[in-house]
Amino acid sequence: MGYRVLEKKDLAPGIYSLKVEAPLIAKKAQPGNFVILRYKYTGERLPFTLVSWDPDEGWVQLIIQEVGKSTREMAQLTAGDEILDLLGPLGKPYPMQKYSRPVVGVAGGLGAAPLYPILVGLQKMGNQIITITGARNKELFILREELQQISREVLVATDDGSEGRKGFVTDVLKDLLDKEQVGQVIAIGPVPMMAAVSRVTKQYNTPTMVSLNALMVDGTGMCGGCRVTVGGKTKFTCVDGPDFDGHQVDFDEIFRRQRFYRNQEVESLEIFEHACRLDSAIAKLEDK
């Protein structure tokens, strides 16, 4: 028996939320934890952050962006379907601390999903939260109201200027750090964005954490797939992270390793899209 999908919601173009029945994981989950799932027997193992959970009702929420074959195929799941297996909670919980100055969460695109539970945890400890969130355009923002509720202010940047400041989250962050001293910055998003935030905060000597999305297989420290270099030392993202000091991370290495299977990923997506087109052509013929 698998893990039942209780609810599927589309949040933005290409981004959906799944509420999945998983009472044991919900009981143990902490901010920063993730799961590795296989949605079907022949499916690959996919890591996703636990965005929210309810230990009493026994569910966990995942927010998923369609980037390749598996995440696109999973978008077809609906309430009542089952996910074959769900392993977790994995990873170290985020190192929570109370700061005398505000904590700044910086989200790039889908990064708002893994950032949200961490900011909730920090806010519960009494920290003042400032959120900076960026996306290509305003249609792609997720968790707007939820972030508003826990933040002193939410500052917005879009690549196309459709909302907030036209530009990158780093531009907004620089302006903020020029005006105000902060206790810590947490940046979650694409690797180049986390690298850029870490470069900015280094100039201001502001402690910075990033959440690394290295390629993972087993999620238990056995395969070495998620190897990263932090402070000149080898770390496994799945058991030593996923959160690390951004000023110590070798981002170039992560970028190189993330692109290692690019050709196979593209090929697999093309085969999947071809099969989808064939299915819809057959369905049209059958309708006639």
Ligand X SMILES: Cc1cc2nc3c(=O)[nH]c(=O)nc-3n(C[C@H](O)[C@H](O)[C@H](O)COP(=O)(O)OP(=O)(O)OC[C@H]3O[C@@H](n4cnc5c(N)ncnc54)[C@H](O)[C@@H]3O)c2cc1C
* Binders in 123-182 for ligand X, by CB under 6 A: none
To which residue do tokens 């992270």 refer? 241
Q: Which regions of the chain does DSSP assign to beta strands (E)?
A: 3-12, 15-21, 34-38, 46-49, 52-54, 59-65, 82-83, 85-90, 103-108, 129-135, 153-158, 165-166, 184-188, 208-211, 227-230, 233-236, 243-245
Q: Which does 61 bind (CB under 5 to 8 A by kind): ligand FES, ligand X, none?
A: none
Longest dimension (CA), the chain: 69
CB 118 within 8 A of CB 31: yes
* Binders in 202-241 for ligand FES, by CB under 6 A: 216-219, 221-226, 236, 238
Task: Look at the alpha carbons of 25, 26, 31, 34 in this order and tell me if their dihedral is positive or negative.
Answer: positive
Smallest separation (angstroms) from ligand FES to the CB of 219: 5
> Does residue number 223 form part of the binding site for ligand X (CB under 6 A)?
no
DSSP state of 181: -
Smallest separation (angstroms) from ligand X to the CB of 242: 4
Considering only residues 33, 213, 249, 254, which one is a binding residue for ligand X as defined by CB under 6 A?
Answer: 213
Q: Which does 224 bind (CB under 5 to 8 A by kind): ligand FES, ligand X, none?
A: ligand FES
Whichever of 89 and 219 has its CB closer to ligand FES, that residue is 219
> Does residue number 215 form part of the binding site for ligand X (CB under 6 A)?
yes
Number of residues in contact with ligand FES under rule CB under 6 A: 12
- Give contact residues for ligand FES (rule: CB under 6 A): 216-219, 221-226, 236, 238
